[in-house]
Structure 1
Amino acid sequence: MTSVLQAPANADHVVRLTGVHKSFGNARRSVTALHGIDLTVRPGEFVCLLGASGCGKTTLLNLIAGLDEPSHGSIDLRGSRPAVMFQEAALMPWLTAAGNIELPLRLAGVERTARRERARELLDLVRLGNAGGKRPHELSGGMRQRVALARALASALGASDDASATSLLLMDEPFSALDAITRDVLQSELLRVWESTGAAVVFVTHDVREAVRLGQRVVLLSSRPGRIVQEWTADESTQDGLDLAEVINRRLREVISDHASA
């Protein structure tokens, strides 16, 4: 896996996957999760990875994050190391909200005053400026996810005031466990934060409408082994008067049906 951690300001991508394959197991017992993935994410771009359960979306995210390595192919990562936000907030229960946000900065060796100031800025960014002293059990599910988002941004952006366009945030169905109203609010908040920071986002979901609402680009993966079967852009025109979500829904159903009949 190729990893280039410092990128020039005019880099044309934050991550580029070329011919990426991923298999698990050995010989006859091996299972191919991903096959021939070619994907480029540009600085500041919001890309949604969409597909049925088990299609390899999370595996692909783990490869980009460096939590696993491809069996074949290459991944060229530019700028700072990606930050990852999972479905569960996974906050440290003994730390306050501010302490959780400071944690990646502390591990990176950022000086105390700088990391506390950064935590305050990020709490304000996710509209939790008055909750920095609260512990996770004192927060609602939506508030915990906001803290998790702020912590991920702290990891991606560091203590610098420059929200670098080479920063990358990886999100693995972070709102799927929340109720519909909270999910709707946090989707809006995520878009606001993304526009404020300039970080690139790769967002995994199985919800077509969530993908269309959030993504500048929607990338559809086939069922196992995961291949990129089609992409759409948010401003793409559609045929027959259908909205983009319905067009993608139809294509997703075709992909699932083709896999079931194979």
Structure 2
Amino acid sequence: MTATLSSSEHVQSATAVRLTGVGKVFGRGQRAVAALDGVNLSVAPGEFVCLLGASGCGKTTLLNLVAGLDAPTAGTITLNTSRPAVMFQEAALMPWLTAGRNIELPLRLAGFGRADRQSKVAELLDLVRLSGSGHKRPHELSGGMRQRVALARSLAATQRVKGTDEPALLLMDEPFAALDAITRDVLQGELLRVYERTATAVLFVTHDVREAVRLGQRVVLLSSRPGRVVQEWSTEDVTDTEELTEEITGRLREVISTHAGR
């Protein structure tokens, strides 16, 4: 498939999700606003893709379309996974439930029995390094800890009962943007560790180039509104991440400058 509107191509033998010619327009007539236009993008099973762009370029809109929270006005979205799990910038935990109960909720909705739920909650708490905090409520946790619970809950939402083997897809909308720099750095490292252990496909939205290069196996750049895929980079086998970061930053500046000069 063509993953960019430049000359590069990215071919996958299988996909977790594929967007073909996807467009999204809000409103009608003279008040219509085109958020996305002709987006072609695929994420392979187990692949970590970072979607990068300036504020207002349609990144979150694209994520909402993949999540099924809204429908495209043009093109098609093909999911070869179970319903995607979503993690937002805010943890959005149920304040009256403990951390463990928050994580358990999607498992209950997916039809897991009580024993399986308890086992998986314990496993997920351990995975995000919160084994001793399952009994605490959100207000008793720090911002970073709440985001760990939100990550565990999202991973719980990718779980399926025995007999189903659909690959999982996790959609992440700037989940660390509201955190301080040190906590954000720690959680980026934790996310990579969790990703390596779970092999869940991830589509991660960010406007931070360094974050995209650190986390993604592939970085996809959207133009300013209406969002189009203009270029992508593979981070695999890259020895100088600083050089790649500077290259992507320069391209992002070009995209923003072109939009500002219209």
Deviation at 1:80, TM superposition (A): 1.3
Q: Secondary structure at the match of 1:75?
A: strand
Q: Equivalent of 1:100, from 88, 102, 105?
A: 102
Assess if the C-alpha contact under 8 Å between 1:65 and 1:82 holds in 2: yes
Q: 1:117 to 1:238 in 2, by over 3 A?
A: closer
Residue aligning to 1:4: none
Residue aligning to 1:244: 244
- Superposition pairs of residues 1-262 of structure 1, within 5 angstroms: 12-158=14-160, 166-235=167-236, 243-262=243-262
Q: Secondary structure at the match of 1:144?
A: helix
Question: Over aligned residues, Cα RMSD in angstroms?
Answer: 2.0
Q: Percent same amino acid among aligned pairs?
A: 69
Q: Give the counterpart letter for 1:105 in structure 2.
A: L
Q: 1:203 to 1:160 in 2, by over 3 A?
A: farther
For residues 5-42 of structure 1, the C-alpha deviation after alignment (integer angstroms, 9 at most, x for no partner) is: xxxxx971100000000000012211000000000100
Q: Secondary structure at the match of 1:38?
A: strand
Assess if the C-alpha contact under 8 Å between 1:114 and 1:159 holds in 2: no
Q: Give the counterpart letter for 1:37 in structure 2.
A: V
Assess if the C-alpha contact under 8 Å between 2:88 and 2:174 holds in 1: yes
Residue aligning to 1:3: none
Q: Give the counterpart letter for 1:254 in structure 2.
A: E
Partners of 2:151 and 2:242 in 1: CA distance: 34
Partners of 1:19 and 1:129 in 2: CA distance: 44
For residues 108-131 of structure 1, the C-alpha deviation after alignment (integer angstroms, 9 at most, x for no partner) is: 222111111111110001010111
Assess if the C-alpha contact under 8 Å between 2:110 and 2:161 holds in 1: no
Q: 1:206 to 1:244 in 2, by over 3 A?
A: same
Unpaired segments ≥5 residues, structure 1: 1-9
Partners of 1:208 and 1:165 in 2: CA distance: 31
Q: Give the counterpart letter for 2:235 in structure 1.
A: A
Q: Secondary structure at the match of 1:52?
A: coil
Q: 1:41 to 1:188 in 2, by over 3 A?
A: same
Q: Secondary structure at the match of 1:130?
A: helix
Point out the more displaced range, 27-36 or 164-173: 164-173
Partners of 1:142 and 1:64 in 2: CA distance: 26
Q: Give the counterpart letter for 1:167 in structure 2.
A: A
For residues 64-88 of structure 1, the C-alpha deviation after alignment (integer angstroms, 9 at most, x for no partner) is: 0000010010000012110000000
In the superposition, the TM-score normalised over structure 2's length comes to: 0.91
Q: 1:70 to 1:96 in 2, by over 3 A?
A: same
* Number of residue pairs the alignment of both structures matches: 251
Deviation at 1:235, TM superposition (A): 3.1
Q: Secondary structure at the match of 1:104?
A: helix
Deviation at 1:159, TM superposition (A): 5.2
For residues 150-205 of structure 1, the C-alpha deviation after alignment (integer angstroms, 9 at most, x for no partner) is: 0000001235699x671000000000000011000000000000010010000000
Q: Give the counterpart letter for 2:245 in structure 1.
A: A
Unpaired segments ≥5 residues, structure 2: 1-11
Q: 1:151 to 1:129 in 2, by over 3 A?
A: same
Assess if the C-alpha contact under 8 Å between 2:52 and 2:59 holds in 1: yes
